[in-house]
Amino acid sequence: MKIGIVGLGLIGGSLGLDLLAQSSESEPNYIWGISRSPDTCKQAEAIAAVNIASTNIQNIPDVANTDIVVICTPIASILPTIQALAPQLPQNVIFTDVGSVKAAIVEPASKICQQFGQGFVGSHPMAGTAFQGISAVERNLFQNRPCVITPSEDQAALAKVRSLWQSVGMQIYEASPEDHDRAVAMISHAPVMVSASLIAACQQESDRSVLQLAQNLASSGFRDTSRVGGGNPELGRLMAEYNQSAILRSLYTYQQSLQSVIKLIEQNQWAELEAFLADTQSDRNFYVE
Ligand code: NAP
């Protein structure tokens, strides 16, 4: 397949790396990439995340035979990027994106693509690390991780996007943009804010020696609970900005839950607290192994 990747950071670069690594004589992949910075483009070529990369699509030879273009820029740039590239790409090319929100993207992106006889299917590969940029790319980042794709009447486009993500090892779930946004608000976007707030709360300790001791003692438990709060700040802001109502809904529910826990502790209701924790201990199995 001939695949374009726009935005050569953690997600775009890691995707290119896997797609090129699995390219074979019988099933060759050719990857072209676009990013804003010439240094990113050079680095992406050097690590074999792309065959060729440039800051300008005009410098990419023979884009006419491209099958799929994957937009891997930050959320705010996804629609402007599709708007700028669609007129420069052939009819029948399929666009997808990797944005962590879907309702704000899928309908307007589909409309832009329709104008040019092109297809759009929204994607959200649920894989990431706390790092960003081309230097953060990882082989097998997507292996055995879930990927949401949004429904489309264009069955051929849907099949191509599904097969792209399956080829890098992802498990596909089809969901409407709205259901996707509510579900990821619960298990991804709100946890970023909860985790960040935990780090901020620790930093409010005014006794310097206690704070220093806490920093020395923090171990695996704190590493787990603070991990997503220590991630890419731009991504966190954009998740909240573009998924505002769903993230607020999750955070208000979390606030109520935390308030109930505080009350149990204030009122010495230890048996009730233990029952609450027994429920969360077993309920966690619904979400993670
Ligand atoms: P990232 O590491 O910061 O990569 C984005 C890259 O896009 C940057 O390195 C930047 O490279 C390039 N870029 C920025 N604006 C651009 C533009 N207008 N045109 C072309 N290239 C541009 O971020 P990421 O973590 O890969 O996230 C990218 C997308 O993946 C986001 O939409 C995010 O919602 C989604 N996502 C992220 C995660 C995660 O955990 N990180 C998980 C799933 C989905 P240069 O400026 O150096 O050229």
Domain positions in the chain are 2-175, 179-286
Could you tell me which residues are beta bridge partners of residue 54?
34
Quote the ligand 1 centre to 78 CA distance (angstroms): 10
Confidence band of 113 (pLDDT split at 50, 70, 90) = very high
Q: Which residues are paired to 14 by β-bridges? A: none
Instruction: Determine which helix (DSSP H) or strand (DSSP E) holds 179, and give its type and residue range.
Output: helix 177-184
- Specify which residues 89 forms β-bridges with: none
**E-only strand ranges, 49-199:** 52-54, 68-71, 94-97, 119-121, 123-125, 146-149, 171-174
Average confidence (pLDDT) over 57-64: 95
Kindly give the pairing relationship between strand 52-54 and strand 94-97.
unpaired
The predicted model scores a pTM of: 0.95
Query: Encoding tokens for residue 80?
Result: 């402007």
Q: So what CATH class is 2-175?
A: alpha beta
CATH number of this structure's domain 179-286: 1.10.3660.10
In the predicted model, is pLDDT for residue 155 greater than 90? yes
Q: Decide whether any atom of ligand 1 lies within 6 Å of the 15 Cβ.
A: no
Burial degree of 208 (CB within 10 A; 0-12, 13-18, 19+): exposed
188 lines ligand 1 (CB under 6 A): no
Residue-wise pLDDT for 132-154, tens only, equals 999 999 999 999 999 999 999 99
Q: Which of 130 and 116 is assigned the larger pLDDT?
A: 116
As a whole number of Å, the CA-based R_g of the chain is 21
Please, what is the average pLDDT of the chain? Answer: 97
Kindly state the average pLDDT of the residues 212-223.
98
130 has a pLDDT exceeding 90? no
Q: Is the CB of 73 under 6 A from ligand 1?
A: yes
Task: Please determine, for residue 189, whether its predicted confidence score (pLDDT) is greater than 90.
Answer: yes
When pLDDT is averaged across residues 79-95 and rounded to a whole number, the result is 97
Asked if residues 248 and 191 have their Cβ atoms less than 8 Å apart, the reply is no
**Is the pLDDT reported for residue 289 higher than 90?**
no
Amino acid at 147: C
Closest C-alpha residue for ligand 1 atom 40: 128
